[in-house]
Amino acid sequence: MQNQTLRIATRKSPLALQQTKYVQEKILSLYPNLNIKLVPIVTHGDNIINKSLSKIGGKGLFIKELEVALLENKADIAIHSMKDLPMNIAKDLCLVSICKRGNPLDTLVSNHYQSINQLPKGAVIGTSSLRRQCQLITYRPDLIISPLRGNVETRISKLDQGKYDGLILAAEGLNRLNLQNRITQIIPAELSLPSCGQGAIGIQSRKKDKKVILFLSQLNHTNTFIEINAERAFCRKLNAGCQIPIGSYAILRKNKLWLRGLVGSPNGETILKGERIGWYTTGEKMGYSLADELLKNGAKKILKSLFFKKSYYI
C-alpha cells in the first residue's frame, strides 16, 4: 500500500473524527508513506437530533451513508463505533478489524453528585439509551429519566445549563474527547451492563478488496475481537440488531471468556439477565446459548411488545 491513497469514510461528529484520527495514526505507523484522504459524511442520524432514535429507525442510521460510500467506491474503508454497527451488515461488505477496546463502561457525569447513590430523589438524568434507562430505573425508580440527543459536547452543555442533574455517557467517548475530568463515576457493569461493542472501534471494507483487508487485518486486536464476537452473537440470536434495550458484555482472561447478557423492558419493570463462562474458542456458541436462555425466560415476550409498538432503541 506504499505511495497509494486510502480513502476513509467517517462521520463528521467530533467523537467520530477523533476515532478516525486514532485509526489513521495506527495505519501510518505500519505504512508511513501511505496517503490518507478523509471522506467526512453527515449521516441521517446526525441530521435528526430532535427525535428519539426509536422514532427514526435506530442506530443503524449512523452507518448507512458510510456503507453506501463504500458500495459506490467513494471510500475504501469506513470507521465505526462498534456499538453502532448492526449485527447483519451489507452482503458485499465485511468487518475487517476491531481495534483494541478502551473502557467499555457507562459513566455518570454530574456537577453536584459523585455517584448514582448520591443523586437525590426526583433528580433528572439525561440519557439517549433505553438500555441505560431500564437498568437505572430498576436500581433507582425515584429518578426522572429525560431523553437527550446530540453529540457529547452538546449534552454536557445542557448539563452545565442546569437542565439535568446528571448524564449517563460512555466512558471511552469521554476519554477520546479528552473529557475525562467530567466523569464523576464509572458505573459498574453490575448496575449498567454496557451495549454490545461499546468502547471499541471497527473498520469496515468491501469484501472484494483483498489487498485492503490483508493490510488492515494487522490492526485487529485478537482479544477484543473474541469478546465482541460473543457479544454480537448474543444480539444476533435475539434478532435485535442495535435497536432494542439489550446489553451484552464479554471479558476474556487467560483463555476463559465471561459473557453477560441482558434484556429489559424500557420502564424497568422486567430485566432478564444471564451469563456464560467458557473457553475463548466457544464465544459465538456461548452468545447463542445465552440468548436462547433469556428468550425462554421471557425475553421473547418483551421483544414482541417492543416490535409491536415500533419502539426500537438501545
Helix (H, G, I), strand (E, B) or coil at 295: helix
For 12, residues 6+ apart whose C-beta sits below 8 A from its C-beta are 40, 41, 42, 46
Do the domains 222-314 and 1-99+200-220 match in fold?
A: no
- What would the grid cell of residue 107 be? 459513566
Domain ranges of the chain: 1-99+200-220, 106-186, 222-314
Which helix (H) or strand (E) segment is 119 a member of?
none
Q: Give me the CATH topology for the region 106-186.
A: D-Maltodextrin-Binding Protein; domain 2 (3.40.190)
CB crowding 36-56: b at 16 or more within 10 Å, else e: bebbebebebbeeeeeebbee
HSE at residue 61, side-chain half, CA atoms within 13 A, is 18
- The CATH-assigned architecture of domain 222-314 is 2-Layer Sandwich (3.30)
Give the catalytic positions in this structure.
Answer: 84
- Identity of the amino acid at 280: Y
pTM: 0.89
For 82, residues 6+ apart whose C-beta sits below 8 A from its C-beta are 98, 196, 197, 198, 199, 200, 201, 202, 228
Tens of pLDDT along the chain (314 residues) come to 555 899 999 999 999 999 999 999 999 999 999 999 999 998 755 444 444 444 444 455 668 899 999 999 999 999 999 999 988 888 999 999 999 999 999 999 999 999 999 999 999 999 989 999 999 999 999 999 999 988 999 999 999 999 999 999 999 999 999 999 999 999 999 999 999 999 999 999 999 999 999 999 999 999 999 999 999 999 999 976 445 789 999 999 999 999 999 999 888 889 999 999 999 999 999 999 999 999 999 999 888 877 655 443 34
For 224, residues 6+ apart whose C-beta sits below 8 A from its C-beta are 98, 99, 100, 101, 200
Please check whether residue 174 is in contact with residue 180, taking contact to mean a CB–CB distance below 8 angstroms.
Answer: yes
Q: Give me the CATH topology for the region 1-99+200-220.
A: D-Maltodextrin-Binding Protein; domain 2 (3.40.190)
Dihedrals phi, psi of 86, to nearest 5 degrees? -55, 155
Distance CA 49, CA 47 (A): 6
Q: How many residues does the chain have?
A: 314
- What would the grid cell of residue 92 be? 458485499
Q: At how many degrees (to 10) do helices 222-237 and 283-294 cross?
A: 30
Distance CA 177, CA 78 (A): 20
- What would the grid cell of residue 22 be? 486514532
The phi-psi region of residue 33 (left if phi > 0; otherwise alpha if psi is between -120 and 50; otherwise beta) is: alpha
Distance CA 135, CA 269 (A): 10
